[in-house]
């Protein structure tokens, strides 16, 4: 199903850079009780190397589905996804994926959880300890390496998930509401850490959130998706300079304007309700 897509106001900027991820009219249909069910309507946009792009839209509009397709865990029913110019037709090992339900293995310590990607990739044992120490420090969990997940707060567990994803230095990060359930203060701390890691490493990030303020705080561009079947309403460039302080940026006039503009686009879909 393809709906009208409004003019995408910023696709032109930087259009000469070959995209990292390219969505070409991607749609996804599931079957529920043998009846076809269009989850995602038409996703059509590019993510450039090193860019931080957020996707916002009502619950059930296909945001997680789009990330699953990008990670190669699911095939689109229509259209295609390219990663650095190549079609994604198997699990995409270039991306690190923090899924919406990401959990830790409860019987493993923080260190052992963070080690999982290194074990899967048969990373030399001798180098693992140093890499894990470095990552634990980066996410502010020094002294907690030998704790089990049950001994950590919710925010600390999120940091471990982040560390586990970052440890093999994926060139692209897919993040599905990684800070969703956290309290406001902790969210700010982790957002600042993520921005610091992103600007230091040049990682490309595709980030799903329900939180407009979070999308404006972090992103270079925000993709607004309609209620199911998700179709792009617009792409908004967040023309606020980096580096950003996640607390101070909220008092920026442009921040408020952008948040209002995004809400104006999103509110009809939100009020009509997705599956919230
Ligand atoms: N594997 C699946 N089989 C059948 N239906 C599915 C499957 N995955 C997702 N759906 C349906 O597709 C729609 C889109 O789901 P998706 O998880 O992508 O939404 P979302 O935008 O991530 O929502 P939320 O913001 O609540 O996380 C939903 O109606 C969901 O029930
Ligand atoms: Mg989701």
Q: Which atom of ligand 1 is nearest to the CA of 67?
A: 18
User: Which protein residue's CA is at the shortest distance from atom 9 of ligand 1?
Assistant: 65
Q: Is the CB of 224 under 6 A from ligand 1?
A: no
CA–CA dist 146, 143 (Å, integer) = 8
DSSP 248-274: GGGGSHHHHHHHHHHHHHHHHHHHH-S
> What pTM was computed for the model?
0.90
Residue nearest to atom 18 of ligand 1 (CA): 62
Which of 27, 39, 102, 179 maximizes ligand 1 atoms within 8 Å of its Cβ, making it the mutation to test the pocket?
39
Please indicate whether residue 180, judged by its CB atom, sits closer than 6 Å to ligand 1. Answer: no
Domains of the chain and any CATH numbers: 1-94+204-276 (3.40.50.300)
Nearest to 246 by CA among 207, 194, 211, 198: 194
Per-residue pLDDT of the chain (276 residues; tens, 9 = 90+): 333 333 344 444 555 779 999 999 999 999 988 899 999 999 999 999 999 999 999 999 999 999 999 999 999 999 999 999 999 999 998 999 999 887 899 999 999 999 999 998 899 999 999 999 999 988 889 999 999 999 998 888 988 998 998 888 899 999 999 988 778 888 898 899 899 888 888 899 999 998 999 999 999 999 999 988 889 999 999 999 999 999 999 999 999 999 999 999 998 887 775 554
């Amino acid at each position: 199903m393809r709906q009208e897509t409004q003019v995408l106001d910023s696709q032109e900027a930087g259009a000469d850079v070959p995209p990292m991820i390219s969505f070409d009219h991607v749609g996804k249909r599931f079957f529920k009780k043998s009846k076809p069910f269009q989850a995602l309507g038409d996703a059509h946009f590019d993510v450039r190397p090193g860019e931080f792009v957020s996707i916002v839209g009502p619950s059930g509009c296909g945001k997680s589905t789009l990330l699953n397709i990008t990670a190669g865990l699911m095939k689109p029913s229509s259209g295609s996804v390219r990663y650095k110019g190549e079609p994604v037709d198997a699990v995409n090992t270039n991306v690190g994926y923090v899924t919406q339900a990401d959990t830790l293995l409860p019987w493993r310590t923080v260190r052992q959880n963070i080690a999982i990607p290194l074990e899967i990739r048969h990373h030399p044992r001798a180098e693992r300890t140093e890499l894990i120490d470095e990552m634990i420090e980066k996410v502010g969990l020094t002294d907690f390496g030998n704790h089990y997940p049950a001994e950590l707060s919710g925010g600390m567990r999120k940091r471990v998930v982040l560390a586990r994803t970052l440890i093999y230095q994926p060139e692209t990060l897919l993040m599905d509401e990684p800070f969703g359930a956290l309290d406001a203060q902790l969210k700010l701390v982790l957002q600042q850490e993520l921005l610091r890691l992103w600007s230091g490493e040049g990682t490309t990030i595709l980030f799903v959130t329900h939180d407009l303020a979070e999308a404006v705080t972090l992103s270079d561009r925000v993709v607004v998706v309609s209620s199911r079947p998700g179709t792009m309403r617009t792409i908004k460039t967040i023309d606020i300079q980096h580096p950003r302080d996640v607390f101070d940026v909220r008092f920026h006039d442009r921040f408020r304007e952008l948040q209002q503009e995004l809400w104006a686009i999103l509110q009809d879909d939100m009020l009509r309700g997705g599956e919230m």
